[in-house]
């Protein structure tokens, strides 16, 4: 027997507003029965688990040990700019001059996430013969 991952739950102060942000990030809709003011909201990803936003009374106080990593369909640089325009903030820039690395951003409630290189960014680096060290899937 095994378990199936149902959703990734994100505690937040305003479930609807944070889910709207992540709906814009992913380009995926909110659950059709979810409304402003609901304490639980789902973003309906096309495959895999849901993003489930759960309104809680306590604020975020420390860095979470788990976070989302995004692989954009456009270039990493274009996606970072798009996400910043949606309300994300840049937390740490781990991008390297050779094109390797990633950017750490935070959503409007301070939950950190990473933007990795796109497949086209990775292919361009491979064609130049660049290699990255370590296991970070940037």
Residues 111-134: tens digit of each pLDDT: 999 999 999 888 888 876 644 444
Predicted TM-score (pTM) of the model is 0.87
Treating both helix axes as pointing N-terminal to C-terminal, what angle do 76-86 and 15-26 enclose, rounded to 10 degrees? 150
Q: What is the pLDDT of residue 119?
A: 92
Tokens matching residue 19: 């889910």
Q: What is the pLDDT of residue 136?
A: 53
Q: What does the buried/exposed string (b/e) look like for 71-87 if buried means 16 or more CB atoms within 10 Å of the residue's CB?
A: bbeeebbebbeebeeee
Q: What is the pLDDT of residue 108?
A: 97
């Amino acid at each position: 027997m095994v378990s199936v991952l149902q959703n990734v739950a994100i505690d937040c102060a305003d479930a609807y507003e944070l889910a709207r942000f992540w709906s814009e990030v992913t380009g995926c809709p909110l659950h059709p029965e979810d409304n402003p003011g609901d304490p639980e909201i789902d973003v309906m990803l096309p495959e895999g688990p849901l993003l489930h936003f759960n309104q809680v009374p306590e604020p975020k106080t420390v860095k979470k040990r788990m976070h989302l990593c995004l692989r954009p369909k456009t270039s990493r640089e274009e996606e970072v700019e798009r996400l910043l325009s949606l309300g994300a903030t840049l937390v740490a820039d781990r991008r390297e001059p050779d094109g390797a690395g990633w950017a750490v951003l935070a959503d409007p409630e301070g939950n950190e996430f990473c933007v990795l290189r796109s497949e086209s960014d990775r292919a361009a680096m491979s064609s130049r013969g660049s290699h990255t060290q370590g296991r970070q899937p940037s």
